[in-house]
Structure 1
Amino acid sequence: MTDHTPHTNHDSNRPAPDQPRASRRGVMKAIGAGAAAATLGIAGISPAAATPDVSLPTDEFVETDGTEFVIDGEPVYFNGANNFWITDDDANAATEERVDAVFDLFDELGINLVRIWAHGEAKEGELVLQPEPGVYNEAALEHHDYVIEAARERGMKLIVALVDNWDHEGGMLQYAEWADAESRYEFYTMDETREMYRNHVETILTRENSYSGLEWRDDPTIAMWELANEPRLEQDDVPNDMDDLEPPEHQEILGEWIQEMSAYIKDLDDNHLVSTGSEGHYYGHWEDDYPDDDWDGQDYLEHHSYDTIDAASFHLYPDHWGDNPADPDDRLSLHDGADYITERVEDAHNELGIPAYLGEFNVNLYDHDLETRNEFLEEWYDAADAVDCNAVIPWQVVLEDTQDHDGFQLYASDSGSIIEDYAEVVAEKSGDWDGDNGNGDEETIAVGEYNTTDTTSDGLHNDFTGDGETTHDDVTAFFENLEDDGVQDNPEAFDFAENDELGFTDVVELLRQV
Structure 2
Amino acid sequence: MRLCAFISLLCLSSFVSGRNAPHSERKRAVPEGFVTTNHGQFELDGKPFNFVGANSYWLPLLTTSDDVEKTFLGMRDQGVKVVRTWGFNAINGSELAGALESGLTYYQVWNSTKFVLNEDSQGLQRLDNVVSTAGKYGIKMIVTFTNNWIGYGGSDLYINWMLGSGATHDEFFTNENIISAYQSYVKTIVNRYKTSPSIFAWELMNEARCLSDTIPAGPNCVPGSETLNTWYSRQSDFVRSLDPFHMITTGGEGQFFWENPPILWSNGVASTDYNFNGQAGEDFDKTLSLPNIDFGVYHMYPQTWYPQLDFPGSNFTVQGWGLGWMQDHIQAAKAIGKPLVLEEFGISGLKNKSTVYKEWVDFALESGHAGVMPWQFGQLGLTEDGGNRLIKYADMILNGASPNDGNTFYANETSIDDIFINAAKVMAQRSQ
Question: What TM bracket, shorter-length normalisation?
Answer: 0.7 to 0.9
1:234–1:71 CA distance, 2 compared to 1 (3 A)? same
Report the identity percentage: 29
Does structure 1 residue 309 correspond to structure 2 residue 293?
yes
For 1:394-413, list aligned pairs within 5 A.
394-400=374-380, 401-402=400-401, 405-413=404-412
The counterpart of 1:163, out of the listed 146, 155, 169, is: 146
Separation in structure 2 between the aligned mates of residue 244 and residue 231 of structure 1, nearest angstrom: 15
Give the drift of 1:271: 1.0
Q: Which residue of the partner structure matches residue 429 of structure 1?
A: 430
1:243–1:153 CA distance, 2 compared to 1 (3 A)? closer
Separation in structure 1 between the aligned mates of residue 224 and residue 317 of structure 2, nearest angstrom: 23
Give the drift of 1:303: 1.2
Q: Which residue of the partner structure matches residue 397 of structure 2?
A: none
Secondary structure of the residue aligned to 1:296 is coil
Secondary structure of the residue aligned to 1:411 is coil
For 1:4-403, list aligned pairs within 5 A.
59-88=32-61, 93-122=62-91, 124=95, 125=99, 126-132=104-110, 133-138=114-119, 139=121, 140-181=123-164, 182-207=167-192, 216-234=193-211, 243=219, 245-249=221-225, 252-284=226-258, 285=261, 287-322=271-306, 323-325=308-310, 333-349=318-334, 351-365=335-349, 370-400=350-380, 401-402=400-401
Separation in structure 1 between the aligned mates of residue 227 and residue 161 of structure 2, nearest angstrom: 21
Instruction: Say whether the 8 Å CA contact 2:378–2:401 is kept in structure 1.
Output: yes
Instruction: Say whether the 8 Å CA contact 1:224–1:273 is kept in structure 2.
Output: yes
Letter of the 1:247 partner, please give it: P
Give the drift of 1:95: 2.2
Separation in structure 2 between the aligned mates of residue 94 and residue 396 of structure 1, nearest angstrom: 20
Give the drift of 1:71: 0.6
Separation in structure 2 between the aligned mates of residue 422 and residue 236 of structure 1, nearest angstrom: 34
Letter of the 2:378 partner, please give it: V
1:176-196 deviations in whole A, cap 9, x for unaligned? 112123432111111110001
Q: Which runs of 4+ in 1 moved over 3 A?
A: 234-240, 242-246, 284-287, 325-332
Q: How many residues align?
A: 357
1:375–1:193 CA distance, 2 compared to 1 (3 A)? same
TM-score under structure 1 normalisation? Answer: 0.66
Indicate the structure with greater strand content.
Answer: 2
Give the drift of 1:360: 0.4
Query: Once superposed, what is the RMSD of the aligned Cα atoms?
Result: 2.3
Give the drift of 1:294: 2.6
1:345-397 deviations in whole A, cap 9, x for unaligned? 23202x111000011011123xxxx1221101111110110011001011110
Separation in structure 1 between the aligned mates of residue 76 and residue 53 of structure 2, nearest angstrom: 11
1:256-296 deviations in whole A, cap 9, x for unaligned? 10000000000000010000001111113584323222321
Separation in structure 2 between the aligned mates of residue 190 and residue 83 of structure 1, nearest angstrom: 31
Instruction: Say whether the 8 Å CA contact 1:127–1:137 is kept in structure 2.
Output: no
TM-score under structure 2 normalisation? Answer: 0.78
Instruction: Say whether the 8 Å CA contact 2:156–2:215 is kept in structure 1.
Output: no
Letter of the 1:253 partner, please give it: T
Instruction: Say whether the 8 Å CA contact 1:328–1:334 is kept in structure 2.
Output: no
Give the drift of 1:218: 1.1
Secondary structure of the residue aligned to 2:248 is strand
Separation in structure 1 between the aligned mates of residue 41 and residue 196 of structure 2, nearest angstrom: 21
Separation in structure 2 between the aligned mates of residue 173 and residue 128 of structure 1, nearest angstrom: 16
Give the drift of 1:235: 11
Secondary structure of the residue aligned to 1:114 is strand
Unaligned runs of at least 5 residues, structure 1: 4-57, 208-215, 432-514
1:416-441 deviations in whole A, cap 9, x for unaligned? 2111111111111102xxxxxxxxxx
The higher relative CO (CA closer than 8 Å, separation ≥ 6) is in 2
1:2-52 deviations in whole A, cap 9, x for unaligned? 48xxxxxxxxxxxxxxxxxxxxxxxxxxxxxxxxxxxxxxxxxxxxxxxxx
Secondary structure of the residue aligned to 1:135 is strand
Give the drift of 1:330: 5.6
Give the drift of 1:403: 5.8
Instruction: Say whether the 8 Å CA contact 1:130–1:137 is kept in structure 2.
Output: yes
Unaligned runs of at least 5 residues, structure 2: 4-30, 264-270, 381-399
1:330–1:274 CA distance, 2 compared to 1 (3 A)? farther
